[in-house]
Amino acid sequence: MFAPAVRPDFIAKLPERGADAVVVDCEDATPAGAKDLARQHVRDHVPALAEKCKVTVRVNAVASEWFADDINDGVVPEVAAIVVPKIDSVDALNTVSAALEGNGLGHIGVIAGIETGLGVADARPLLAHERVVAAYFGAEDFIADMGGIRTASNEEVLYARSAVALAARLGGVPLLDQVVTDFRDDDRFIAECEQARAIGYSGKLCIHPGQVALANAAFIPSADEVDRARRLLEVYENAISEGLAAIDFEGQMVDEPLAVQARRIIATGDE
């Protein structure tokens, strides 16, 4: 859940939103002329906020004129991670890592924004970097970089979304899906959550409080899903003990790959 760093009234409400983590945004949600004010608000409000919820700060891109000041003056030790947009090279991640270390913030990890053509093309080494603890795919910036047209169908980002999901899986980091800018369109938001979960994403970026509950419901397996997964595993494991490798479960052929999916559903539901 994002809140502009220039809006302390919004920042104060973040613990009430029900999100797994919150983002105080010094990048897109902060005008160019208000970057210093945004950093001041981070220093003033984030330490106390971190006692109530998991807080991250989104800094400006490494290549921007504001990045160095963001790290020097706009990141506090209490943050769980920093969100760095438009990551597209290992050199950029090394720059972030060195900046954190140089400011006594070496314990802080990076949530990497993969949202450019180069970032998607090189996502695998980026998401294997030792400083990266999570990542997100940013569809709006990606399509802007590609010179494309953003649509509600998401067909134009299917390849990129999938490529980043594969890189995140290989890198062993959780991955968050793109924002839905039309925060009034719940149907689209839910559909995107279902698409993202199906290809391996573990969460969704939210820009409006009304989206948080929808995301939580979409990415946490339902009681029915968990129950079915438990029943499937019981039947499958009994069959394995009898020397069988595949079974018929409720009209579906089940073998080890489906058992792996069932175990993941149960584990996620139990968290």
| Residue 122 Cα distances to 46, 161, 168, angstroms | 33, 13, 12
Mean pLDDT over residues 194-220, rounded?
96
Average pLDDT value for residue range 72-94: 98
Place of tokens 């990551």: 87
CB count in 10 Å sphere of residue 245: 9
As given in the structure block, the two tokens for residue 41 are 């608000």
- Give the pLDDT band of residue 150 (cuts 50, 70, 90): very high
Q: What is the mean pLDDT of residues 227-239?
A: 93
Separation CA 175–CA 187 (nearest Å)? 22
Q: How many residues does the chain have?
A: 271
Distance between CA atoms of 150 and 182, rounded to whole angstroms?
12
pLDDT at 69: 98
pTM above 0.75, yes or no: yes
pLDDT attached to residue 31: 96
Give the residue from 71, 72, 126, 139 showing the smallest Cα distance to 94.
126
Percent of the chain with pLDDT over 70: 100
Alpha carbon distance 202, 192 (integer Å) = 12
d(CA 19, CA 16): 8
pLDDT digits (tens, 9 = 90+) for 76-85: 999 999 999 9
Domains of the chain, start order:
2-219 (3.20.20.60), 223-270 (no CATH)
State the chain's mean pLDDT as an integer: 96
Q: What's the rounded mean pLDDT across residues 104-114? A: 98
The pLDDT, as a whole number, for residue 244 is 86
HEC sequence for 194-221: HHHHHCCCCEECCCCHHHHHHHHHHHCC
Confidence of residue 172 (pLDDT cuts 50, 70, 90): very high
Residue 247 pLDDT level (bands cut at 50, 70, 90)? confident
Question: By percentage, how much of the chain surpasses pLDDT 90?
Answer: 92
d(CA 45, CA 68): 20
Query: pLDDT tens for residues 112-148?
Result: 999 999 999 999 999 999 999 999 999 999 999 999 9
Alpha helices in the chain (DSSP H): 8-13, 35-49, 67-73, 90-102, 117-121, 123-127, 139-146, 158-171, 186-198, 209-219, 223-241, 256-270
Between CA 4 and CA 28 the distance in angstroms is 8
